[in-house]
Chain A
Amino acid sequence: MKRLLTNARIIDPASGMDTTGGVLIEDGFIADVGPHLDAQHTSDATITDCEGYVLAPGLVDLRVKTGEPGSEHRETLQSASEAAVAGGITSMVVMADTDPVIDTPALVDYLKRAGQSSKVLNHILPSGALTVGLEGERMTELGLMKDAGAVLFANGDSALPSANQVRRVLQYAKGVGARVMLRPDEPSLATGSMNAGAFAARLGLRGLPAHAEWIGLQRDLTLAEMTGTDVIIDQVTTARSLDILLDARERGINAQATAAAHSLFFNELDIGDGSRDPGKAYLTYCKVNPPFRPEKDRLALIEGLKAGVINAVVSAHDPQPPEDKRLPFDDASFGAAGLETLLSALTSLVAEPMYELDLMTVLASVTCNPADMLGLNSGRISEGRVADLVLFDPDRPWKCKRDQLRSRSGNSPFDGRLLTGKTLRTMVAGKWVFDASEGAAQ
């Protein structure tokens, strides 16, 4: 089966291509790309006119939580997949902190099969827990889980409790070729519910100091150096973390880093104190961990993205139902839904001239960069690559409304916000799986 997408603005961050042309797809793979592919070119392909909109590699999201298995009322793999493709995401790594925790090869295999049977055909990539039950004590069977299909290993939302544990895990993971993602944190210091500082003090909320991130980051990078293991740093949020990363890289440590899209978009004041709008105070949709930081950190993250200090942007999708969010701030759970807003958050930043961000840069952070971190065949538009593609209008304004999100939980900090840029169609392995004009996945 052949498909030809014509009249598209093709942006392929891996090659730096930004050109008007077409993409030819055969049997789910990209057969040809370029300006020479127009409607006259072939006769036996099904032709789709992209009307000049941007055609980019489908997004690869390194950090997604669903509720499956164990808390399907929050999110299922199916509902997460529908939300993902509506946001242009074609591959997502699902986190291991489910119930049960994904800490055995059999559970990795279960997730892999569940993903493959998804009707949306979103590539669901399981990750594994670094320690049994995420309890931070015994190492899991990293090698067997990797063979079963775990693309990444992490310890959920927590840092490993001891430095020695990190050392042994990194040493062992290197031997079996398992990719490790570490959350930089010092849990004994980070016991609050929002960024520590004057604003938290005034709201009477306990703080999560940025210093906890720096301590955790320094520790984990030092141990990556000690063991010579490559690491992925899971969600940095502060300016100083970027300096720490740069310093580590100069010393030869191979540490890649991610940032959550919402951390590029919001600062701590978005939690609100009701001074401008009485309804906007203690907003629990803005309660995430790592937390929203002060504006200067947010701006530094955007600079860090431009400079390549941050390699990948993640949705950090974490669906939480109303009963866990409609609570006093300290009692509410952490987490924000983010699948459907990942691409739009980034295109909204591009649309804002003051940031001087370009589409090529932001797309690299959600396509080829994360794909390369996992060694995937996707994330690129070139011959031989899997045909995972997103067609979007970078200029289309829309208002994010939580009750219109496809995720089973609507806990989005973007609720009520105007965003610029929207997914029009999404293709996974050569098949259209989302069409905005039809309003739902096929």
Chain B
Amino acid sequence: MSFRYDFPHKHLLGIEGLNRLDIESLLDRADGFVENKSPEQSLVGKTLINLFFENSTRTQSSFDISAKRLGADVVNMSVQSSSVKKGETLIDTAMTLNAMAPDLLVIRHGASGAVRLLSRKVDCAVVNAGDGTHEHPTQALLDALTILRRKGRIEGLKVAICGDILHSRVARSNAMLLHQLGAEVRLIAPPTLLPPGTDTWGAASVHTDMLEGIKDCDVVMMLRLQLERMHGLYLPSKREFFHFYGLDKAKLAHAAPGALIMHPGPMNRGVEIDSAITESANSTITEQVSMGVFVRMAVLEVLAQNLDRARAEAKA
């Protein structure tokens, strides 16, 4: 892109609320970081707090590394050692951190809407690193960047998202983003893990038959199945789930030739995905992790710029 586009949001709370240009400008910026081994240190002097109320190795370290590559100071808040355990309310925690005047706050929380709630109480820019079963916008962005770099486009691609759609923030964010960029999004899940109204996220169709859903797809995105969903109420057993919804060679043969195999990680090998295909040439699983760093660099940089601009305007 040769023209300048100002990302018009203070926070990144979700894909919902972003338009196509917003998304493309972030992807474009992220793509620039992929080839650039020594990016401009645009976050020098900025403080980023990683506030993770849910455990996460990959997302937290990805934000940590992204911020440090751009020169930011990073504080990782471990909830186990914080006063949240002592009964301090979420909002009190936010107010306390806000009083230390960070510039960027990256939050993961187990309750849907919690990150938005916190964003209303702080002055800094907030990035949603996953809230409950609602959204996980940077995951959707890194998935899109991975697809773009492999396939050269997203417009017109058929993308299947398969697994526990009901409890997946990744599915929501991805469906919305891919739909915005012109992909045909299909959701595949057993009926107990399929929520209503997925057309409002941009899903073109829903399938309980995986072979039907995966047919001719250019991308097959598998979701992690939480093990606690496996026993009785939602699903009868792991092996039955794998039989009908696990991605293996035989099922993959119904997708388009050269279809990408994606997974946000961490994987349950032999539950939603067969180990053998995770290492095939069409698997992007580790590449997604790499792209995560570049996408988060782009997000942090753009939000920091917006913050600087807002502060300058407030002074003037």
Residues of A participating in the B interface, judged by any CB pair closer than 8 Å: 196-199, 201-205, 273-275, 279, 281-282, 323, 326-331
Chain B residues with CB under 8 Å of A330's CB are 111-113, 132
Q: Please tell me if the beta carbons of A328 and B132 are within 8 angstroms of each other in the complex.
A: yes
Q: Please tell me if the beta carbons of A331 and B16 are within 8 angstroms of each other in the complex.
A: no
Given contacts A274-B17, A275-B17, contact A282 B116 (CB under 8 A): yes
B164 vs chain A, min Cβ distance (A): 13
A373-B13 Cα distance, complex, nearest whole Å: 50
Q: Which of B103-140 contact A (CB under 8 A)?
A: 109, 111-114, 116-117, 120, 131-135
Cβ of B172 < 8 Å from any Cβ of A?
Answer: yes
Size bracket, chain B contacts = 20 to 34
Cβ of B230 < 8 Å from any Cβ of A?
Answer: no
Q: Please tell me if the beta carbons of A202 and B172 are within 8 angstroms of each other in the complex.
A: yes
Q: Across the two chains, which residue of chain A brings its CB closest to B10?
A: A278
A274-B166 Cα distance, complex, nearest whole Å: 21
Given contacts A203-B134, A282-B117, contact A198 B197 (CB under 8 A): yes
Residues of B participating in the A interface, judged by any CB pair closer than 8 Å: 13, 16-17, 89-91, 109, 111-114, 116-117, 120, 131-135, 166, 169, 172, 195-201
Q: Across the two chains, which residue of chain B brings its CB closest to A206?
A: B133
Q: Please tell me if the beta carbons of B197 and A197 are within 8 angstroms of each other in the complex.
A: yes
Task: Supply 15 A–B pairs (Cβ within 8 Å), ascending by A.
Answer: A196-B196, A197-B197, A198-B197, A198-B199, A201-B195, A201-B197, A202-B16, A202-B197, A202-B200, A202-B201, A274-B17, A327-B89, A327-B111, A328-B109, A328-B132
A197-B196 Cα distance, complex, nearest whole Å: 6
Q: Please tell me if the beta carbons of A328 and B112 are within 8 angstroms of each other in the complex.
A: yes
A281-B17 Cα distance, complex, nearest whole Å: 12
A274-B113 Cα distance, complex, nearest whole Å: 10
Q: Please tell me if the beta carbons of A328 and B200 are within 8 angstroms of each other in the complex.
A: no
Q: Please tell me if the beta carbons of B17 and A329 are within 8 angstroms of each other in the complex.
A: no
Q: Across the two chains, which residue of chain B brings its CB closest to A281?
A: B116
A275-B13 Cα distance, complex, nearest whole Å: 12
Q: Across the two chains, which residue of chain A brings its CB closest to B166?
A: A201
- Which of B90, B113, B197, B198 contacts A282, CB < 8 Å? B113
B170 vs chain A, min Cβ distance (A): 11
Q: Please tell me if the beta carbons of A205 and B89 are within 8 angstroms of each other in the complex.
A: no
Chain A residues with CB under 8 Å of B13's CB are 274
- Which of A279, A281, A323, A326 contacts B113, CB < 8 Å? A281
A327-B111 Cα distance, complex, nearest whole Å: 9
Q: Please tell me if the beta carbons of A204 and B90 are within 8 angstroms of each other in the complex.
A: no
Q: Which of B131, B134, B198 has the most CB of A within 10 A?
A: B134
- Which of B91, B132, B198 contacts A326, CB < 8 Å? B91
Q: Please tell me if the beta carbons of B197 and A204 are within 8 angstroms of each other in the complex.
A: no
Q: Across the two chains, which residue of chain B brings its CB closest to A275?
A: B17
Chain B residues with CB under 8 Å of A203's CB are 112-113, 134
Chain A residues with CB under 8 Å of B199's CB are 198
- Contacts A202-B201, A273-B16, A327-B91 given; 14 further ones with Cβ under 8 A? A198-B198, A199-B197, A201-B195, A202-B200, A204-B135, A205-B113, A279-B120, A281-B113, A281-B116, A327-B89, A327-B90, A327-B111, A328-B112, A328-B132
Chain B residues with CB under 8 Å of A196's CB are 196
B194 vs chain A, min Cβ distance (A): 9
Q: Please tell me if the beta carbons of B134 and A204 are within 8 angstroms of each other in the complex.
A: yes
Q: Please tell me if the beta carbons of A204 and B196 are within 8 angstroms of each other in the complex.
A: no
Q: Please tell me if the beta carbons of A323 and B116 are within 8 angstroms of each other in the complex.
A: no
Q: What are the 6 closest A-B residue pairs judged by CB atoms, nearest first?
A: A198-B197, A204-B134, A328-B111, A282-B113, A204-B112, A201-B195
A274-B198 Cα distance, complex, nearest whole Å: 18
A197-B89 Cα distance, complex, nearest whole Å: 29
Q: Please tell me if the beta carbons of B90 and A328 are within 8 angstroms of each other in the complex.
A: yes
B237 vs chain A, min Cβ distance (A): 23
Q: Please tell me if the beta carbons of B201 and A204 are within 8 angstroms of each other in the complex.
A: no
Q: Which of A275, A282, A326, A328 has the most CB of B within 10 A?
A: A328
B1 vs chain A, min Cβ distance (A): 26
Q: Across the two chains, which residue of chain A brings its CB closest to B89?
A: A323
A202-B198 Cα distance, complex, nearest whole Å: 8
A338-B248 Cα distance, complex, nearest whole Å: 56
A329-B172 Cα distance, complex, nearest whole Å: 18
Q: Please tell me if the beta carbons of A201 and B113 are within 8 angstroms of each other in the complex.
A: no
A197-B197 Cα distance, complex, nearest whole Å: 7
A192-B91 Cα distance, complex, nearest whole Å: 23
Given contacts A199-B197, A327-B90, contact A205 B16 (CB under 8 A): no
A241 vs chain B, min Cβ distance (A): 20
A251 vs chain B, min Cβ distance (A): 33
Chain A residues with CB under 8 Å of B197's CB are 197-199, 201-202
Chain B residues with CB under 8 Å of A205's CB are 112-113, 132-134
- Which of A204, A273, A279, A282 contacts B133, CB < 8 Å? A204
Chain B residues with CB under 8 Å of A279's CB are 120
Chain A residues with CB under 8 Å of B195's CB are 198, 201
